[in-house]
């Protein structure tokens, strides 16, 4: 039985592995990976999650659409969402936060930053 279930939605296997590596520092974390937004929603419906980390630019369904759908679904709207993306412009950040993302991390990937944000949203001291 894991303490925290985390869903990583990212089309790049390298990125998924990097994010998963950073999150594995959290004791009792269980990581589920999804290739895109649609896959993410499918995984989301199969079990309870404590945190979602998603890329923006993905095939089939992008990360912003996923954020919007999650925030408008009564079953999932309380789950914190972190967007991890190459888009560093302020308007991109504001758009993601306006849609309901809890935090916004820009690439290149920094494992320490991801870990800090995840711990904060999972309320781990």
Q: How far apart are CA 49 and CA 83, in angstroms?
A: 16
Least spacing, CB of residue 82 vs other proteins, in Å: 15
Count other C-beta atoms under 10 Å from residue 86's C-beta: 12
User: In the 8-state DSSP scheme, what is residue 3?
Assistant: S
Helix (H, G, I), strand (E, B) or coil at 36: coil
Window 14-43: residues binding other proteins (CB under 8 A):
14-15, 17-18, 21-22
Tell which one of 35, 106, 119, 120 touches other proteins (CB under 8 A).
106
- Which one, of 33, 106, 105, 44, lies nearest residue 78 by Cα? 44
- CB-wise, 74 or 108, nearer to other proteins? 108
Q: With respect to other proteins, which residue has the nearer C-beta, 89 or 125?
A: 89
Interface with other proteins (CB under 8 A), residue total 18
**x-marked contacts with other proteins along 69-98 as a string, rule CB under 8 A:** -----------------x-xx---------
14 Cβ neighbours under 8 A, 6+ residues apart: none
Distance (Å, whole) CA 120 – CA 124: 6
Contacting positions for other proteins (CB under 8 A): 12-15, 17-18, 21-22, 86, 88-89, 106-112
């Amino acid at each position: 039985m894991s303490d925290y279930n985390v869903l990583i939605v990212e089309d790049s296997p390298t990125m998924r592995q990097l994010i998963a590596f950073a999150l594995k520092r959290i004791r009792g974390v269980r990581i589920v990976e999804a290739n895109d937004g649609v896959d993410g929603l499918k995984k989301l419906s199969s079990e309870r999650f404590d945190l979602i980390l998603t890329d923006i630019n993905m095939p089939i369904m992008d990360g912003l659409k996923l954020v919007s759908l999650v925030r408008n679904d009564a079953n999932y709207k309380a789950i914190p969402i972190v967007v991890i993306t190459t888009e560093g412009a302020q308007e991109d950040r504001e758009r993601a936060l306006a849609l309901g993302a809890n935090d916004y991390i820009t690439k290149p990937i920094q494992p320490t930053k991801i870990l800090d944000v995840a711990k904060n949203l999972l309320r781990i001291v």
